[in-house]
Structure 1
C-alpha cells in the first residue's frame, strides 16, 4: 500500500513529496477504526509548526482531511460500525498519510458523514469549516447584530466565514481581489430562506484607489466593525512590492476599521505590533487573537467540543447552509504534482479522489 510523504528540504531547500510504501499493523488498537479512504484533501504543510511541537521525521505524512467508509473497528469502539461513512482530520502526529487506500485512526477524530454529501466535497471543505468555526465562535464569539469584515471573501476560508456568519444573523462586509471575485461575492445568495445578498458591501482592494477605511466607516455610520477576520496582513509598506502580499491589508488599516470593543482574528503567525498600533488598540479597548486551527488535534483538552464542531460542519453542509466552492478532484497519480502546487501557494487546496 502506498502513501504520500514529504521529505523536508535542508535549510531553504524546497520540500520534496514522494510516494512511499507503507503497511498497517495486523491488529487494530482498542479505540481505532480502519477506514477505506474515498477522498483526501491536500492543504499546505506547515513544517515550522511541526518543528515547534516537536514532530521531526525524515518522512512526514501528507494529506490529513479524509472521508471514507469504515471497514473494521477496534474492540472498544462505540461510535462506529463497519460500513459507516465517516469524515475527519488526522492528527498532527499521525504516522500514516491520508492518501493511503486504507488507514487506521482513533475514533475520536472522526464523525459520521451524511449520505447525501460526496466524499470529495467533505474532504475539500472540512479544514476551512474548522478554521471558520474557530475564528467566529471560539475567538470572536459572534452574535446576531454584530458587524463582520472578512478579508478575501472569495477564498475557500473566507466564503465559509461569510456563510456561517450570515446564518447567525451577522452583517458581513468583505473584500475582493479581482473583478471576477467582486461579481461572485455580490451575487452570493442563501440556498434557503429570503434571497437577500449574503454580503452587505464588497470592497474592491485590487484598485489602486481603494480605501478600505473610508468604505467601512461609510457602511457602519462611522462606528467601525465589531469583528475582523484576515487571511494574512502586510507588516511593512515595503511588502507592497510582493505580488502575493500586495492585496493583503496593512496591519494599521485593520486596527483602524475596528470599532470600540472590536476583535481582530488574524492568520498572520508572525504578527508584530508597534507601540502606536498597541496604543490605538488600547484606545478602542480592542483585542487580537491568533487563528491556529491545529490546536484542536494538537491538544486533547477540548476533544468533545472539537467533535461537536466537525459534526456541525457536515450537518450544515448537508442542509445547504454551508456551500463550499466545488473542488475538482484529481486522481491519485497526480497527487504529488497537486501537493507541490499547493505548497508553493499556487493553489489554495486540492482534493484527491481514491
Structure 2
C-alpha cells in the first residue's frame, strides 16, 4: 500500500549552530504494536535538544528530528493498545535517549510512556512538563524519597528541571533551598522556596548545612560534586543528572561519609506521567513558560535556550488547522481522481514506510521509533 501522507518536521542533516535545523516534509509515521500516533500540539525544547544538535552530546545518528516532550491528540492506535483511543488528549516523554522525534507534526511512541493530559491545563503547559518534570520526580520521589520536613537543596532552581523540582519537593512537605541569580529570587519565592541563594555572591558550603537531599543538575566533575557534598548531613542523598565516570576513590570517600550518591538518567514512564498529571491537575505543579515558538521557528527556540538566561521552559507549538488541512487535501485528491490508497493513509494508516529517524535507517513495518526497552 502506498504511503502518501506527509508531515512537517524540524530535521538536521549535520551538527552545528541552530541554523542547521530545517523544516522538511517527511512521511507521516504509523503506530506499530503497542504504540500510538499523536498529532503534536506542543513540544518542549530542552538542553538535551540543543546539546544533541550541536554535538555536545552524541546520542542519535543523522538525519535527526529532535524532541522528547510531547502533548497532543491521539490520531491512531496500534495493535494491543486499549488505554487510549483516537481523540484522547495525551502527554508524555518519548523513550530517552533514542526515542526522539517530537519536533514534528506527528510522532509515534509506545503507549506506556503517555498519560491523559489533565483537562485543566492546555497543550503548551502539558508540552513543557514531561522530560523536566519526570527528571525532577524521579530524582526527588523515586530516588531520594523526600519526606515532610526534610531539607532539600536544589541547584539552578529557576531552570527547567529546577523550578519543577522546587514544586515537587514542596508538594511533599520539604523545606527547600534553591540557587539562582539575585534577579530570579522573587520567582523562586513565588514557587515556595524557603531560602533563595545567589550562587554568584554566596559561598554555598558556608551558607548551607545539614541538608537531607541535594539535586544537582549541573555538576559533572569531582569539584562540582564536592560543593554539593559539603552541605549534606551524614546519611543524606546527592542526586546528579546524567551518569558520568566517577573515580573509585571519590566513591569510596562518599560512602565513608555515609552519603548516598545517585546519578540519574531519566526514563520514560507512564506511571510517573500520571503522577505529574495529578500534581498539575491540582495546581501543585505548573511549568513557567519563558517563550513559545511555532514549529517552523525551532532555530529561534534553540538560540534562546543556549543563552543560558531563560527561566523555566521553551515550547514549540504546532498549528492544528494545518494538520486538518493535510487530511482534507489528501481526501480531495481521491475525489479528484487520485490514488484511492490515500484514503487508507488518512483514515486507516497501516502502510509501510521508510523511517528516516531510525538510527540505522532500516525500513520499518510501521512509522514510529522502536520501543528500545530500557533507556541508557
Which residue is equivalent to 2:12?
6
Q: 1:337 aligns with which of 300, 305, 312?
A: 300
Tell me the distance in 1 between the aligned counterparts of 2:38 and 2:62: 25
User: Closer, same or farther in 2 for the Cα pair 1:281/1:109, shift >3 Å?
Assistant: closer
Q: Which residue of 2 aligns with 1:320?
A: 283
Per-residue deviation, 1:6: 2.8
Residue 78 of structure 1, CA deviation: 0.2
Describe the shift of the 1:17–1:274 C-alpha distance in structure 2 as closer, same or farther (beyond 3 A). Answer: same
Displacement of 1:311 after TM fit?
A: 0.8
Q: CA RMSD in A?
A: 2.7
Q: Which has the higher contact order (CA 8 A, sep 6+)?
A: 2
Provide the C-alpha distance between the structure 2 equivalents of 1:58 and 1:130, rounded to a whole number of angstroms.
27
1:109 aligns with 2:113: yes
Hey, what's the Cα distance between the residues in 2 that align with 1:124 and 1:288?
A: 28
Residue 159 of structure 2 is aligned to residue 155 of structure 1: yes
Give 1:320 shift: 0.3
Change beyond 3 A, Cα 1:72–1:61:
same
The reply on whether 1:229 has 2:215 as its aligned counterpart is yes
Segments of 5+ residues of structure 1 without an aligned counterpart are 189-197, 218-223, 238-249, 298-305
Equivalenced residue count is: 305
- Residue 286 and residue 135 in structure 1: after superposition, are their counterparts in 2 closer, same or farther (change >3 A)? same
Tell me the residue number matched to 1:287.
Answer: 260
Residues 17, 339 of structure 1: 8 Å contact kept: no
| Partner Cα separation in structure 1 for residue 87 and residue 277 of structure 2 | 18
TM-superposed CA distance for 1:139, in Å, is: 2.0
Distance 1:20 1:158 in 2: 33
Please, what TM-score do these two structures have when normalized by structure 1? 0.77
TM-score by length of 2: 0.73
Name the CA distance, whole Å, in 1 between partners of 2:274 and 2:190: 29
CA distance in 1, matches of 2:293, 2:166: 27
Q: 2 CA distance for matches of 1:148 and 1:129?
A: 17
Query: Unpaired segments of 5 or more residues in structure 2?
Result: 1-6, 319-376
SS of residue in 2 equivalent to 1:144:
coil
Q: Give me the whole-angstrom Cα distance separating, in 2, the residues matched to 1:230 and 1:160.
A: 13
The match for 2:197 is 203
- Alignment partners' CA distance in 2, 1:6 and 1:345: 22
Tell me the equivalent position of 1:263: 237
1-structure distance, mates of 2:198, 2:317? 35
Find the residue that maps to 1:19 and give its secondary structure.
strand
1:351 counterpart = 2:315 = yes
Residues 180-226 of structure 1 deviation map (CA, whole Å, 9 limit, x = unaligned): 212322344xxxxxxxxx3332222222xx22122213xxxxxx111
Give the corresponding residue for 2:125: 121
Aligned to 1:42: 45
The question of whether the paired residues in 1 share the 8 Å contact of 2:136 and 2:164 is answered with yes
Offset at residue 32 of structure 1 (A): 2.7
Q: Secondary structure at the match of 1:22?
A: strand
Task: Say which SS state the counterpart of residue 129 (structure 2) adopts.
Answer: helix
| Match of residue 241 from structure 1 | none
Identify the residue that residue 221 of structure 1 maps to in structure 2.
none
